[in-house]
A and B are shown apart, each in its own frame.
Chain A
């Protein structure tokens, strides 16, 4: 499947993530300036912008990792802004998945334990969690590498392990922050294909933060951020 053949979400799909009037300061820096965003269920969205534009801050606000100074975020029926810190942690653990740049695996855990980790942290016993972990590793072409440590994996393999970890708890939304940031272009392409294929087949909403247009090309829709504000695609093209 390529982006030319992609099947977008039905136009009638309900909104899954709604953010209204998000403002966030990091010290003197005004990272988000009244951001409004709506993302539908099953949609693949790329949040784009140059370095320092506020895209990662937006992702962290949407995922409930940080709370905005003002504004609110809703995922499904849950208003993230109303949750306590512990409740937000539990929400992330059970409803959301994350994929980051290379190196975000726990170095002392094997590939299978890294994948099983979200389930184990949620209370599933290891033996049972490993069954699901193995299933995902096999599905992502990593059969036979279950016992390897992150240091024994290639960049692409490590990123697929991270992807399996992000998906193992069947999240409603998968957040990916520069998922191909440290990969060569061929590996990056393969990882993105896998990522989007899996998201579509499982109807998981995927939010990708990237500054790479080639990565963004895999998405259904792009959201541009510049100086903490959402801008129009036309303006970005002009820039």
Chain B
């Protein structure tokens, strides 16, 4: 035991190395647990608030015992309010546990919305709902920030709304049982878990050269292999256990802070970030076992001989590319036979993604070696010669430093290209009829309202400057020529215009407004009410409130401005991708920075003797920075383009397998993320050069006798 203690804690350098491993393992475990907790929290909060999207049956089956509900998105000041109009008889079968349904003319609001209503003039918000009779308990809300309102109504009134249905059950399960959402969540979790485990793996290799040298010395002086193994085991298990314990402790300490992070605009509830003891134990034990196995393998390699020789890696084989090709092939199969696969689509999709992500990391050393060999042939300057030879002789170690960066580039590309699908559906393809300062409401089907009374009532709202209508004959949507000219900048010459794509003009083909074939609007039913305002935010909200409370307006279709309509159109699969993607990108970027810094610094410490020699020979200081640059950039560039391409390919396969959308060019997200990654590389190289110079200087001051 005394020998063990001396061998492990004998030197200050070893202390520092062990501390580095402990910190790396702790951060990896912490992030893995936070990720599991985050996934649990999202699911828990979704289940808790899933009553807002009840499972409904067709209204034709309604009886007097049924609860009728209609869900809609309301908006105030750009914030979305979940609204549920509900009509429930006293003896209704489907009930909301923990809350009594408000009676007609009254409402219950979440605490956050109650606060908002309290601080807002009633004509802008409260008048939309009636009289408040209570608050919605937190046990029914996704987040303390949730803006939710349940409005009581009569069966007739609620039934008239477009989205109305007979409530079968208020609980449809997490994400409404949406498999796509589960797929996205799993892909996002994998995206963060991969760099988290990379961090743990890289940390446990800290100072591996120094460790190998020490074990070699032990073997040389006659220490039995068993002792070397015991030292390795004690060191690996000790650091891994301590790191895992710190990671678990850090998780419980940081959990309340994570709850403050807004996800999809809303904070989490701290209690939702729960991780079962089993999961904590599994993560911790897996990390410890992984570290011990890696250390024992290393001890077996270096402890097998008592002679000291420089150890180079064998040239990687093409077989390393096979998992990557398998992932690509599986995606092709999923896409081609999507309808015929007997298992839920989520399984092969997540498997393909995992194979490609892991395959990229497994193939990395092979690509690094290929590029390194080519680079070695071209290298002429001293720094390039040193770097290229090292890359060729130790491609796995060379790639390890940038593995996190490659994983990050791939994942960022996946999310950025996936997010481009949302843009492809939510942008205007022609000038819309609706000006930016107007709100529009859709009139209920088969409801005939008199234009004059609408205008008279809306004229009392101070911010409304004009009121216009569209009309329908059941087939087309029409607008008076004068109104069209007032609302748009179109040089429309006709008396009556026909709207091809509705007032928001999202139709991808043809002009949004053209001359109608009908000669009069008399006798047609009003389809849309458009209230143009003076552009002030309070005026828009007052106009919206007035329209929402107007008998005949279909509240469930939304009363929106043009900008709000685009936002709502975006709330689909691709937007969920973008949401999770942004979160994943931040985490992955952080992890990547840690992996790159640890791996580069560790590699420099392992080459202390070489650096010392080069310093003695008089190597200029900036040459070291150039060596580090080559050693970082060559492995990185060898696989950066494939990583971006595979990111696009994976995004394409994910989106087209799960939806009918297509990808377009990514927005600035990809550029910004890649620029940030590039900046991190530069900062890492500069920092590593500083560390390298410090190592050289400290070597220089070492006595050499």
Asked if A86 contacts B620 (CB within 8 A), the reply is yes
B693: nearest chain-A partner, CB-CB: A85
Residue among A93, A150, A151 making CB contact with B619, cutoff 8 Å: A93
Asked if B619 contacts A121 (CB within 8 A), the reply is yes
Residue among B379, B389, B613, B618 making CB contact with A96, cutoff 8 Å: B618
Contact A92 B616, CB 8 Å, known A126-B379, A149-B310 = yes
Asked if B386 contacts A106 (CB within 8 A), the reply is yes
Contact A126 B620, CB 8 Å, known A66-B701, A109-B385 = no
Q: How far is the CB of A87 from chain B (nearest CB, A)?
A: 10
Interface membership of B704, Cβ < 8 A: yes
Contact A92 B703, CB 8 Å, known A107-B310, A117-B382, A127-B380 = no
Chain A residues 81-117 with CB under 8 Å of chain B are 85-86, 88-94, 96, 98, 100, 104, 106-110, 113, 116-117
Residue among B379, B613, B618 making CB contact with A89, cutoff 8 Å: B618
Interface membership of A160, Cβ < 8 A: no
Interface membership of B337, Cβ < 8 A: no
Interface residues on A, range: 35 or more
Asked if A65 contacts B700 (CB within 8 A), the reply is yes
Map CB proximity to B onto A25-38 as digits: 1 under 8 Å, 0 otherwise: 01000010000000
Chain B residues 295-344 with CB under 8 Å of chain A are 309-310, 312
Interface membership of B615, Cβ < 8 A: yes
Main SS of chain B's interface residues?
helix
Chain B residues 346-398 with CB under 8 Å of chain A are 379-383, 385-386, 389-390, 392-394
Residue among B385, B394, B623, B703 making CB contact with A31, cutoff 8 Å: B703
Asked if B705 contacts A120 (CB within 8 A), the reply is no
Asked if B623 contacts A109 (CB within 8 A), the reply is no
Contact A108 B704, CB 8 Å, known A90-B618, A98-B616, A149-B310 = no
Q: Determine the distance from Cα of A90 to Cα of B617 in the docked complex, in whole angstroms.
A: 9
Q: Find chain B residues with CB under 8 A from A66 CB.
A: 700-701
Q: Determine the distance from Cα of A223 to Cα of B705 in the docked complex, in whole angstroms.
A: 17
Residue among B383, B385, B613, B621 making CB contact with A86, cutoff 8 Å: B621
Interface membership of B610, Cβ < 8 A: yes
Q: Find chain B residues with CB under 8 A from A118 CB.
A: 617-618
Asked if A120 contacts B310 (CB within 8 A), the reply is no
Q: Determine the distance from Cα of A49 to Cα of B359 in the docked complex, in whole angstroms.
A: 59
Residue among B385, B614, B616 making CB contact with A126, cutoff 8 Å: B385
A59: nearest chain-B partner, CB-CB: B704
Q: Determine the distance from Cα of A31 to Cα of B701 in the docked complex, in whole angstroms.
A: 12
Q: Find chain B residues with CB under 8 A from A177 CB.
A: 704
Q: Find chain B residues with CB under 8 A from A127 CB.
A: 380
Chain A residues 150-181 with CB under 8 Å of chain B are 150-151, 177
Asked if B703 contacts A56 (CB within 8 A), the reply is yes
Asked if A89 contacts B705 (CB within 8 A), the reply is no
**CB-defined A-B contacts under 8 Å, sample of 10:** A26-B703, A57-B705, A60-B704, A65-B616, A107-B312, A108-B393, A109-B386, A117-B382, A118-B618, A121-B614
Can you list the 5 inter-chain pairs with the closest CB atoms, starting with the nearest? Answer: A92-B618, A93-B618, A120-B382, A107-B310, A121-B382
Task: Using A93-B617, A109-B386, A125-B381 as known contacts, list a sample of 14 further A-B pairs with CB atoms less than 8 Å apart, ordered by residue number in A.
Answer: A26-B703, A57-B703, A65-B615, A86-B620, A94-B618, A100-B613, A106-B614, A107-B312, A108-B392, A108-B393, A109-B385, A121-B620, A126-B380, A126-B385
